[in-house]
């Protein structure tokens, strides 16, 4: 009760908002006005997400069209194998992959790929996983590509064999090698063997490539690019920028390998049975993909920049405050704004700013960019999960926090 | 074009079904009008997937159950806000535990996932190093004791966490099998009547040796009392499916039981990365959907369900009563089955000139598609996944198929 009241007060104190933005706020009634009762009743904080599509922050928000598709899907019984087959065929048609199906997330996609390259579709072997005795059980990976998602390979029983250079790879490949894994992520930049070369080497040895591309859209082209490059199995997350259900993903690639991966997949009773995906998620994922492909991506980018520019403008004139767009050296090309200030002069540390934003009402999640790879300075703001009007709230809150601090100091 | 035709044929058929109905005062306009509007499955048909009337049961391959409208709405509402997912899991777990009267609860991505999480909890006890290492359980307690006749496809879910299954056949063998490597005793509720070891043997042995006892109660709802009664009997952990009797999201499940074990299970679950459960993803939508389903289920008038479901079965029996040699029986299965109304339909295959397999196939191939169970000694129909009105369609179709065959014979 008091929470929503103070929110209202906060926005009514609209003097702090840039004129244009407050008009938008009045006309469209931004999301923060809605009662978050379903979560509030549970005592769970909701927040404005300026961080990104992080799973622990519940990934993404599904557009109404995806919600509606899931809503509709939930009304009927269907045969799940038939649904997976048809949804997969449609995904393949849309992306140019030979085959595809919907998984319970990108991590699940890696697990399924590992099943495909170890047990394949041999039922006796499939039944035995994660015991890989007598099967190929080594997966080659560049040392820098180790992430916490290694578990998706290891849960099948596979061993990860570290390499750094093409020479290492040549030495590492042996009759136990099941596949080559490659991770595309801004967390693991700086690999020595590039994807195209990596694929070439793997194929020279007649071995498949498993690609973790969980967060690699945008750009939208990546949905086709990696399979075109020859990656045999590519795992995408559905609950990030495609804005599908949080616990959905796509595994796409060569038919031979996708068929083997699907043989292991839920609801078949093999190891990945534990990672279930329902009819709602399958239909929701497909709806999200279709929507994403139809989107005007250039316009979306312009909107992202516009939102960040509004924040930067809103902060102009504050003592020692400096904003900059930071260069982007990963594959996903999302713009990001860094907000910096003289922490000593203002008596306000970056850590305190992050905390104050989180603890305020509405709660705002933003990044401490010193923790980035590579590290950067200041407070990081990502625009792509901001709902209309939220950028103005962020600017107003940052301003408020700085001013409070300045008056105390 | 095609779409239009399908619905036209369907309307004609449904009207015919209504007119031909032998039971009750049927107003076809209302019943089937609503049916057509709500359950036609336009999006599925556009994909080339045919929705079905489910008189078979809550099988995952037939997509489990159809969610209640309130559950769909809860999922849609959940999808509109960002929340910290770990906080949400804890809050929802607490809410469910309080509601049903158990120490602790958590939402999993399905009953199989609950088995894996239970096993992981017992093997790792939440130790971070062990959590990272499983399914490699070298040097850990990793033996999972099961009754030999309880082994089935789902014991893979225990092996997925690194559990080594030890089979026993008698209470003495159970007693002797327990040693310092024993991590968990794994009991399968529905298979209790198979084999000489019952639940009391398991619970007592677990208590004597201080080893946690897990009960896989995937499909044990209804009766609704199972939600707390099984823990009440002395099981330390119990797993349920969310997408069966509870009519929650298909890709959801529950794990309930002792606080410290649920806490250990959490540490092995998504969204925590580098865990065995990372790929078994459950999103905010599924978590909130299952919470709503449990709330509804907890308050539901289960006696009314039984009356309604029995009525479905009786109406179908009445509708086929004029088929030569027909023999129908409405019954509730004993131990090893679900305590819900079923209908067994038998006829003289020679006299009617139609085998059970042929009738089963014609039901599937017709429009709307109808799924039943072919037991080879007769057809078996389950009542609890039928929607009001559908029983008339099922009865009508069966009568039509059987009489047409009998006429030819």
Pair A194, A276 in one domain? yes
Substitution target from A100, A276, A393 for chain B, most B beta carbons within 10 A? A276
Q: What's the average model confidence in pLDDT over B178-185? A: 98
Is residue A127, in this structure, part of any structural domain at all?
yes
Domain boundary residue, one of A265, A294, A323: A294
The verdict on A363 and A400 lying in the same domain is: yes
Same-domain check for residues A201 and A279: yes
Listed residues A277, A294, A311: the one ending a domain = A294
Residue A58's region, left for phi above 0, alpha for psi from -120 to 50, else beta, is left
Q: Closest by alpha carbon to B113, among B288, B290, B279, B273?
A: B279
pLDDT bracket for residue A409 (50, 70, 90):
low
Evaluate whether residue A199 is within a structural domain: yes
Shared domain check, A313 and A271: no
- Contacts of residue A329, defined as CB under 8 A and 6 or more positions apart, other chains included, come to A186, A189, A374
For A155, the closest of B72, B78, B160 (CB atoms) is: B160
pLDDT of residue B397 exceeding 60, the answer is yes
Interface of A with B in 197-216 (CB under 8 A): none
Task: Name the strand (E) or helix (H) holding B165.
Answer: strand B164-168
Dig out the tokens for B51 from the structure.
């929705």
Instruction: Give the number of other CB atoms < 10 A from CB of residue B138.
Output: 7
Tell whether A175 is covered by a domain: yes
To probe the interface with A, which of B247, B278, B293, B387 has the most A CB atoms within 10 Å? B278
Look at the alpha carbons of B271, B276, B281, B284 in this order and tell me if their dihedral is positive or negative. negative
- Would you say residue A120 has pLDDT above 50? yes
Flag the least confident range among A203-212, A400-409, B154-163, B208-217.
A400-409
**Residue A326 sits at the chain B interface (C-beta within 8 Å):** no
Say which CATH number the domain at A322 has.
Answer: 3.90.1150.180
CB contact under 8 A, B43 and A266: no
Residues A289 and A308 placed together within one structural domain of the fold: no
Residues A233 and A371 in one domain: no
Best to test chain B binding among A34, A49, A58 (most B CBs inside 10 Å): A58
Considering the domain architecture, whether residues A148 and A33 belong to the same structural domain is answered as: no
Do A319 and A406 form a contact (C-beta atoms < 8 A)?
yes
Specify if A123 maps to a domain: yes
| Averaged pLDDT, A288-312 | 94
Looking at residue B185, what is its pLDDT?
98
Q: Which pLDDT score, from 0 to 100, does residue A332 have?
A: 54
The CATH architecture one would assign to domain B69-299 is 3-Layer(aba) Sandwich (3.40)
Q: What percent of chain A has pLDDT over 70?
A: 89
Task: For residue B163, give the chain A residue with the closest CA.
Answer: A130
Confidence of residue B373 (pLDDT cuts 50, 70, 90): very high
Task: Please tell me the total count of domains within chain A.
Answer: 2
| CATH class name, domain B2-49+302-408 | alpha beta
Q: Looking at chain A from residue 346 to 365, which residues have their Cβ under 8 Å from any Cβ of chain B?
A: 365
In CATH, what number is assigned to the domain containing residue A206?
3.40.640.10
Does B278 sit within 8 Å of A151, measured CB to CB?
yes
| pLDDT category of residue B281 using cuts at 50, 70 and 90 | very high
> Is A71 within 8 Å of chain B by CB?
yes
Nearest C-alpha in A relative to B120: A155
The answer to whether B63 contacts A149, with C-beta atoms less than 8 Å apart, is: no
* A98 and A176 in a common domain: yes
Same domain (yes/no): A252, A216: yes
pLDDT in the model for residue B11: 39
Dihedral sign computed on CA atoms, order A121, A124, A126, A132: negative
Q: Between A47, A58, A78, which is nearest B51 by CB?
A: A78
Average pLDDT, integer, range B162-184: 98
- Domain coordinates in residue numbering, chain B: 2-49+302-408, 69-299
Mark whether A125 and A223 lie in a shared domain: yes
C-alpha distance from A324 to closest chain B C-alpha (Å): 26
Residue A50 lies in a domain: no
Q: Which residues of A touch B49 (CB under 8 A)?
A: 78-79, 82-83, 86
The domain containing residue A362 runs over which residues? 2-44+297-408
Q: Which of residues 85-124 of A touch B (CB under 8 A)?
A: 86-87, 90, 104-105, 107-108, 110-111
At A40, the pLDDT band (50, 70, 90 cuts) reads: confident
Residue A109 lies in a domain: yes
């Amino acid at each position: 009760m008091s929470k929503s009241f103070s929110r209202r007060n906060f926005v009514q104190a609209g003097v702090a908002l840039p004129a244009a933005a407050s008009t938008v706020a009045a006309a469209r009634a931004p999301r923060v006005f809605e009662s978050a009762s379903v979560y509030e009743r549970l005592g769970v904080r909701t927040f404005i997400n300026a961080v990104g599509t992080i799973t622990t922050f519940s990934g993404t928000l599904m557009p109404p069209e995806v919600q509606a598709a899931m809503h509709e899907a939930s009304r009927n019984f269907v045969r799940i194998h038939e649904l997976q087959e048809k949804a997969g065929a449609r995904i393949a048609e849309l992306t140019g992959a030979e085959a595809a199906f919907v998984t319970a997330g990108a991590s699940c996609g890696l697990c399924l790929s590992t099943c495909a390259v170890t047990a394949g579709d041999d039922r006796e072997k499939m039944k035995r996983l994660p015991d890989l005795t007598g099967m190929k059980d080594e997966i080659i990976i560049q040392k820098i590509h180790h992430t916490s998602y290694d578990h998706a390979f290891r849960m099948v029983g596979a061993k990860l064999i570290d390499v750094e250079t093409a020479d290492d790879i040549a030495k590492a490949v042996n009759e136990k090698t099941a596949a080559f894994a490659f991770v595309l992520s801004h967390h693991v930049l700086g690999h020595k063997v590039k994807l195209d070369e990596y694929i070439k080497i793997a194929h020279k040895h007649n071995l498949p490539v498993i690609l973790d591309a969980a967060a690699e859209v945008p750009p939208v082209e990546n949905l086709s690019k990696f399979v075109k490059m020859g990656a045999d199995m590519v795992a995408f997350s559905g609950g990030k920028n495609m804005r599908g259900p949080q616990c959905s993903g796509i595994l796409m690639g060569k038919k031979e390998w996708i068929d083997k991966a699907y043989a292991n997949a839920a609801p078949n009773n093999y190891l990945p049975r534990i990672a279930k995906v329902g009819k709602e998620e399958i239909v929701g994922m497909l709806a999200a993909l279709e929507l994403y492909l139809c989107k005007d991506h250039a316009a979306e980018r312009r909107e992202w920049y516009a939102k960040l520019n509004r924040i930067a403008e809103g902060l102009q004139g504050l003592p020692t405050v400096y904003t900059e767009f930071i260069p982007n050296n990963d594959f996903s090309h999302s713009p990001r704004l860094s907000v910096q200030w003289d922490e000593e002069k203002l008596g306000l540390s970056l850590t305190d700013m992050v905390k104050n934003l989180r603890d305020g009402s509405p709660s705002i999640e933003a990044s401490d960019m010193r923790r980035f790879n590579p590290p950067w300075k200041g407070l990081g703001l990502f625009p792509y999960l901001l709902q209309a009007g939220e950028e103005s709230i962020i600017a107003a809150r940052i301003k408020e926090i700085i001013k409070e601090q300045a008056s105390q100091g | 074009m095609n779409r239009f035709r399908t619905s036209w044929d369907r309307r004609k058929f449904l009207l015919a079904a209504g007119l031909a109905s032998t039971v009750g005062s049927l107003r076809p306009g209302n019943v089937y009008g609503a049916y057509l509007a709500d359950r036609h499955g336009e999006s599925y048909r556009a994909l080339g997937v045919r929705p079905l009337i489910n008189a078979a049961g809550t099988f995952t391959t037939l997509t489990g159950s159809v969610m209640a409208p309130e559950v769909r709405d809860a999922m849609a509402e959940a999808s509109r806000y960002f929340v910290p997912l770990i906080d949400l899991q804890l809050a929802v777990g607490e809410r469910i535990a309080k509601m049903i009267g158990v120490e602790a609860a958590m939402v999993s991505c399905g009953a199989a996932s609950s088995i894996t999480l239970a096993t992981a909890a017992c093997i790792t006890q939440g130790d971070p190093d062990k959590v990272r290492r499983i399914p490699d359980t070298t040097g850990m307690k990793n033996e999972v004791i099961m009754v030999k006749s309880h082994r089935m496809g789902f014991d893979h879910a225990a092996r997925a966490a690194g559990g080594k299954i030890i089979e026993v056949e008698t209470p003495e063998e159970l007693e002797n099998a327990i040693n310092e490597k024993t991590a968990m005793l794994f009991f399968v509720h529905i298979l209790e009547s198979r084999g000489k070891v019952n639940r009391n043997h398991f619970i007592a042995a677990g208590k004597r040796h201080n080893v946690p006892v897990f009960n896989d109660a995937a499909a044990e709802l209804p009766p609704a009392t199972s939600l707390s009664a099984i823990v009440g009997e002395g099981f330390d952990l119990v797993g349920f499916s969310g997408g069966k009797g509870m009519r929650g999201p298909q890709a959801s499940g529950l794990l309930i039981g002792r606080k410290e074990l649920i806490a250990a299970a959490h540490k092995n679950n998504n969204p925590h990365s580098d865990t065995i459960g990372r790929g078994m993803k459950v999103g905010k939508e599924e978590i909130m959907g299952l919470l709503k389903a449990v709330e509804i289920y907890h308050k539901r008038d289960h006696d009314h369900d039984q009356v309604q479901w029995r009525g479905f079965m009786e109406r179908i029996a009445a509708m086929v009563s004029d088929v030569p040699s027909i023999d129908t029986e409405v019954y509730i299965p004993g131990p090893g089955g679900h305590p819900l109304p079923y209908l067994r339909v038998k006829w003289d295959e020679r006299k009617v000139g139609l085998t059970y397999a042929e009738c089963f196939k014609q039901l599937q191939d017709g429009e709307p598609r109808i799924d039943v169970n072919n037991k080879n000694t007769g057809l078996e129909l389950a009542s609890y996944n039928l929607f009001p009105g559908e029983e008339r369609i099922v009865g009508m179709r069966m009568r039509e198929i059987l009489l047409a065959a009998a006429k030819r014979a």
